[in-house]
Homo-oligomer: A and B are copies of this chain.
Amino acid sequence: MNEEFLSKLLQDVKDGNTDVDKALQQLRHLNPGELGFATIDTHRELRTGYPEVIFGQGKTPSQVAEIIAFMLERKNNILATRVTEEMATQVLHVCPDGIYNPVARTISIRRQEVTTPSTYIALVTAGTSDLPVAEEAAVTAEIFGNRVERVVDVGVAGIHRLYNKLDIIRGARVIVVVAGMEGALPSIVAGLVDKPVIAVPTSVGYGANFGGLSALLGMLTSCASGISVVNIDNGFGAGFLAGMINRL
């Protein structure tokens, strides 16, 4: 899969530095860490430039702790999302310098310095109830080496609140907009800037919101250009992608 690696391996075989069996083993080599219940993607950082992130939901607290314990050996920065308090307790036992953010429901463990570019991500939130999702995005972007500027509670029912913050938004390299209900804020923002807008629908609302469906459909069908959408409540996905774009 990695041409340089293959090229070198074949040269080694040719030069007799590696015999066929070993080479064969190495071709099967990219051996992820196996924990029985999980197969850690240990070379994802090499492949994609980013370490694997632990998605807590659906795992038992001890599974989360064990995975993190395994990853700690590799000295990477670590991010776990959808972390319950019970999980956090177990993890912090294993790794006392981990930071649990109960709003974002994340654990961050910093082991490496990541250089942060001077550009920043604007993180725009429609309402107070969208904050947990927004905070997950912020924590994610930050651990991967990005500055985040927050613009809070500027939903379309009082759209002038947004105009007051246009400088911050227009100054960003990429913009994350988090909104529930009708999810109209990304359309407005995208109509005012010339930067990529990552829209995050949230499940905030009731009735015909149908668990975030109204905001999701609204964002997908936006009449404005320059918008793309991540899953409902997927703060992590938006923060990760925004960081990727910010660091291009």
Contacts and interface: CB of A to CB of B under 8 A. Distances in A.
Contacts of A31: 164
A178 to B, nearest CB: 12
Interface residues of A, number: 116
A240 interface: yes
B240 A63 contact: no
Given A59-B128, A230-B229, A188 B184 contact: yes
A16 to B, nearest CB: 8
B214 A226 contact: no
Nearest to A49: B194
Interface stretch (A69-77, A87-95, A107-115, A217-225): A217-225
Nearest to A246: B248
B237 A225 contact: yes
A231 B48 CA distance: 26
Given A181-B221, A218-B182, A245-B196, A188 B156 contact: yes
Nearest to A203: B207
A240 B210 CA distance: 23
Contact of A39 (B14, B19, B161, B238): B161
18 contacts: A3-B24, A6-B24, A14-B16, A38-B128, A39-B152, A39-B154, A48-B226, A50-B226, A57-B206, A58-B128, A156-B224, A182-B182, A182-B183, A182-B222, A184-B184, A196-B248, A205-B221, A214-B220
Given A198-B228, A207-B231, 20 more contacts: A10-B20, A14-B19, A30-B160, A39-B158, A41-B157, A48-B191, A48-B225, A55-B127, A58-B204, A63-B128, A127-B223, A156-B223, A182-B222, A184-B187, A184-B222, A196-B245, A207-B220, A214-B214, A217-B217, A229-B230
Interface of A: 1, 3, 6-7, 10-11, 13-14, 16, 19-20, 23-24, 27-28, 30-32, 34, 36-39, 41, 43-44, 47-50, 52-53, 55, 57-59, 63, 67, 126-131, 152-161, 163-164, 166-167, 173-174, 180-184, 187-188, 190-196, 198, 201, 203-234, 236-238, 240-241, 244-245, 248
